[in-house]
Amino acid sequence: DGGITQSPKYLFRKEGQNVTLSCEQNLNHDAMYWYRQDPGQGLRLIYYSQIVNDFQKGDIAEGYSVSREKKESFPLTVTSAQKNPTAFYLCASSIKRRASAGELFFGEGSRLTVL
């Protein structure tokens, strides 16, 4: 079945370590996104990519990095520069067609905890 796969589901990190969250989709979607979710908050956009080898910063990109070498893959690295990295991270994709660009398909999320 088509969908978005995020891994790992749970991740623990020591302060000062970089970690990379995986996101893979087989929906043939052009656009992919990373959101951060904190308790009681809406989703905040970290980075997005509308085409391979191109990506743009979202509202809270500081301390994060991404790559888009393949259409199917959009990994997120949480660097040691991110001051408060403990959160639930959600990857999403969408068809690039403007009319339905807001119709996002989400992965199951990755919960990162910094010890």
Partner 1 sequence: GQQLNQSPQSMFIQEGEDVSMNCTSSSIFNTWLWYKQDPGEGPVLLIALYKAGELTSNGRLTAQFGITRKDSFLNISASIPSDVGIYFCAGQPSGGGADGLTFGKGTHLIIQP
Residues in touch with partner 1 (CB under 8 A): 4, 6, 31, 33, 40-45, 48, 50, 56, 58-59, 90, 92, 94, 96, 98-109, 111
Q: How far is the CB of 80 from partner 1 (least distance, A)?
A: 26
Q: Using CA atoms, how far apart are residues 98 and 22, in angstroms rounded to an integer?
A: 26
Of 70 and 96, nearer to partner 1 (C-beta) is 96
Can you tell me whether residue 42 is helix, strand or coil?
coil
Q: How far is the CB of 34 from partner 1 (least distance, A)?
A: 11
Q: How far is the CB of 16 from partner 1 (least distance, A)?
A: 27
| CB contact at 8 A, 59 and 44 | yes
Q: CA nearest 88: which of 44, 47, 56?
A: 44
